[in-house]
Chains A and B, each alone.
Chain A
Amino acid sequence: MHGTMPLLSALNLKKTYVKHANRIEVLRGLDLDVAEGEFLAVIGNSGSGKSTMLHLLGTLDQPDDGCIHLEGRRIDNLPAHERDQLRNRTFGFIFQFYHLLPELSTLENVLAPAMITHGVWSWWANRRDLRRQATEMIERVGLSHRLTHKPKELSGGEMQRAAIARALINRPRVLLADEPTGNLDTANGQHVMKLLRDLNQQEGLTIVMVTHNLDLVHDTDRVVRITDGRIEQAEKGLTPTFASVGADK
């Protein structure tokens, strides 16, 4: 299941936000390896840099220093259009506030990454297949009765499940989840966590989940804590190295 090389690795990541005269050092040399098929939980206090790390890993932002590799290939300094392609095809994002497009229906929201991938003609040629795939994905997250509903007509749990379906439509290598249950009640939170666990276990999807809810980390393979902009320690599992985690699985 796992190779010798981490799927995703961050080395000495540094990120500082400057606003007017204020400098906020968020990441101060963060090192992290994520093995293929791993379900990694990243915990830490508010403002510790969890989301920033996730944005850097997903190429939504660029580090001030350090580097990020995907299967040994450096990705943080790629040209913008290549990073756009990575976000579209290799990474899937789930956000705390779902971030669905309000003008589009559930089906259209789920199809959005595929629409970005395909041009007009390519979309037109493959539209039936793509719609079928999206419908299957929506069925899998249990939203087949909400295909044509707009986000404002969905509950929080439904919106998050739609967001998960959207993140999976292009079959990404890594799912980056930023507080996926942070805005949900316990039942919906457990539902979403079960869905993520199933995806990880049944399809071997690599998941990096950021959370501050320690109750959620039981289902994950490994937990790391960010303190003062660095990975402090392994909270769960034998060792923070990917090889050990892989063996643990």
Chain B
Amino acid sequence: MYKLLLCWRYLKTRYLAFACIISVMLGVATLIVVNSVMNGFSTKLRTLLHSVIGDVAMESQSAEGFVDPVGKIARIRKDPYLNEQIESMAITLDAFAMLQYRNPYGEIATRVVRVTGVEMKSRTEVGGFHKNLARQKSEAMPSFDLPKEIRAAYEEGERQLRLQQELQQKDPPMPKFDPPVGIPDDVLKIFNDAKKGQPAPAPIPAPMLTPQVARVPQGAIVGHLIAHFKYRGDDGVITEKCAIREGDRIVLTTVSSGEKLTPVYDSFVVVDYFQSQMSEYDGNCVFVPLEHLQTLRGMDNRATNILIKLKNYGEAKNVKDKLAGMFQDHGINVNTWEEKQGPLLRAIEIEKSILNILLFMIIAVAGFGILAIFSMIVSEKTRDIGILKALGASSGGVMQIFLSYGLLLGVVGSLCGTILGLTITWNINAVENFIAMLTGSHVFAGDIYYFNEIPTDVNTTAVVIVNLGAIAIAVVFSIIPALRAAMLHPVQALRYE
């Protein structure tokens, strides 16, 4: 009984012990926050990658794709085992392209994108593709069709553009230039020609005019981060602005298939945004109707991928092996989604492990603090230890006082650390915004870390392990001072000054 009483009194009266509690608390809180963020990052990445890629992917080894994807699907369906395991399949065609659009200031902007041709019905059946669409996420069957309001916006945009172009043709602006001092002769000629109203041989090629087509273009789904940009206003608030609105016309220029690569392009109307929260996809992908892309690139009845959704992901390895055997001479790679994203997922796991080791070292440093502070407390309490022994306390009892003290500090520190850690974790984005407001720069930049918001996932087992580890460290580091206290000779302890 005296052990508990003294332990409690020492905790209440020795303010130095609060340093131990704070160090354990900070260590535990940091570990919980980092673990939860890494877990959240890993879990969200896995979920999103899975939804974007499907369970198993058959990929062409060449950008030329493979022939007869429909026939291949039929062949897969003929296999009883595969037919039993596979729920749905979707054909897609990937290519790199240049995307051109008019930004809000009327200027033509160009960027490199990855264009993917998808057949919306089958792609929706394979995975959570439609869940990543901004406008059609709640629709059972999204499409590339232009709804009324988008079509109206498109027609209005076209009308405005035509008016603007007509106006420019009627009254072309005459640039007024004063020749700068020391200008080279060839450049000076351009200025002089411009003064005379002659068209200058522009040193930089003029931006390509968007092709004028009479028909209403096909719909396209543009990555959210392609269509939007963020900027910091004068008030310091970061605002997201739309660069490509729904109904805007875009031009995609890619290359034809075949021996001689020829540029091909077409106009599309933006009907939706792809918003997976992964900057890798949101900042690079444009989705268009599969058949149209096949036609544009001259790749009729060819595709680069078949994405497969399984009824039971546990069978993925067997399905993959069977498919690889079935199409081994077709220039097709077959991978599960985890294999496809293996390096990234492994990198996250390794990073998590290293961080955990480093952070446990921080708690170990806190342990050395406990060792130092406990040693001081034992020295300070030497006479009390002598008194206790004179009253009949055993060496084991004295040792238990200090071990219980270490245990109590560990428990209180861990408890406070868990509360602090969980509070920070559950409000991590608010905390990040606050830090961004103070420092002027975001700790978690969405374009670097895939997601716009910090994902978190509190793993109860990890929290329990962190707590037990911290408590164990607190107890282990109090063993030496406790032993020292236990071994004190009562007479020497009583005479201690």
Contacts of B392 in A (CB 8 A): 84-89, 113, 116-117
Q: Which of A76-133 contact B (CB under 8 A)?
A: 80-81, 84-89, 93, 95, 99-104, 108, 112-113, 115-120, 123
Given contacts A55-B491, A102-B384, contact A115 B2 (CB under 8 A): yes
A sample of 15 cross-chain residue pairs with beta-carbon separation below 8 angstroms, ordered by A number, consists of A55-B491, A60-B389, A80-B394, A84-B393, A84-B394, A85-B392, A87-B390, A87-B391, A101-B384, A103-B9, A103-B10, A104-B6, A112-B2, A123-B1, A166-B391
Given contacts A99-B383, A103-B13, contact A60 B390 (CB under 8 A): yes
Pairwise interchain contact A120-B387, C-beta atoms closer than 8 A: no
CB distance from A209 to the nearest CB of B (A): 16
B4: Cβ under 8 A from any A Cβ: yes
Contacts of A104 in B (CB 8 A): 5-6, 9
Contacts of A86 in B (CB 8 A): 392
B223: Cβ under 8 A from any A Cβ: no
B469: Cβ under 8 A from any A Cβ: no
The docked-state distance in angstroms from the alpha carbon of A120 to that of B400 is 13
Name which residue of chain B comes closest to A169, CB basis.
B391
The docked-state distance in angstroms from the alpha carbon of A88 to that of B393 is 7
The docked-state distance in angstroms from the alpha carbon of A100 to that of B397 is 18
The docked-state distance in angstroms from the alpha carbon of A124 to that of B72 is 79
Name which residue of chain A comes closest to B392, CB basis.
A88
Contacts of A166 in B (CB 8 A): 391
Contacts of A232 in B (CB 8 A): none
Count how many chain A residues have C-beta atoms less than 8 Å from C-beta atoms of the other chain: 31
Pairwise interchain contact B1-A120, C-beta atoms closer than 8 A: yes
Point out which of A84, A104, A123 has the most chain B C-beta atoms below 10 A from its C-beta.
A84
0/1 interface trace, chain B 385-404, chain A, CB 8 Å (1 if under) = 01111111111010000000
B494: Cβ under 8 A from any A Cβ: yes
The docked-state distance in angstroms from the alpha carbon of A101 to that of B393 is 13
Interface size of B as a range:
20 to 34
The listed residue (B9, B393, B489, B491) touching A116 by CB distance below 8 A is B393
Contacts of B397 in A (CB 8 A): 116
Majority-rule SS of B interface residues:
helix
The docked-state distance in angstroms from the alpha carbon of A88 to that of B390 is 8
The docked-state distance in angstroms from the alpha carbon of A44 to that of B277 is 89
B417: Cβ under 8 A from any A Cβ: no
A61: Cβ under 8 A from any B Cβ: yes
Q: Which of B1-58 contact A (CB under 8 A)?
A: 1-2, 4-6, 9-10, 13
A102-B384, A103-B6, A116-B391 are known contacts; what are 17 more A-B pairs with Cβ within 8 Å? A80-B394, A84-B392, A87-B391, A88-B392, A93-B391, A101-B384, A103-B10, A103-B384, A104-B5, A104-B9, A112-B2, A112-B391, A113-B392, A115-B1, A117-B392, A120-B1, A123-B1
Contacts of B386 in A (CB 8 A): 99
Contacts of A88 in B (CB 8 A): 391-393
Pairwise interchain contact B1-A118, C-beta atoms closer than 8 A: yes
Contacts of B393 in A (CB 8 A): 84, 88, 116
CB distance from A159 to the nearest CB of B (A): 13
0/1 interface trace, chain B 225-269, chain A, CB 8 Å (1 if under) = 000000000000000000000000000000000000000000000
B127: Cβ under 8 A from any A Cβ: no
B490: Cβ under 8 A from any A Cβ: yes
4 interchain residue pairs of minimum CB distance: A88-B392, A115-B2, A103-B9, A123-B1
Contacts of B389 in A (CB 8 A): 60, 84, 87
Name which residue of chain A comes closest to B14, CB basis.
A103
CB distance from B30 to the nearest CB of A (A): 33
Contacts of A61 in B (CB 8 A): 489-491
Contacts of B490 in A (CB 8 A): 60-61
Contacts of B391 in A (CB 8 A): 87-88, 93, 112-113, 116, 166
Contacts of B1 in A (CB 8 A): 115, 118-120, 123
CB distance from A199 to the nearest CB of B (A): 18
Contacts of A102 in B (CB 8 A): 384
Contacts of A99 in B (CB 8 A): 383, 386-387, 390, 494
Pairwise interchain contact A116-B5, C-beta atoms closer than 8 A: no
Point out which of B10, B390, B491 has the most chain A C-beta atoms below 10 A from its C-beta.
B390
Q: Which of A120-152 contact B (CB under 8 A)?
A: 120, 123
The docked-state distance in angstroms from the alpha carbon of A236 to that of B494 is 31
Contacts of A113 in B (CB 8 A): 391-392
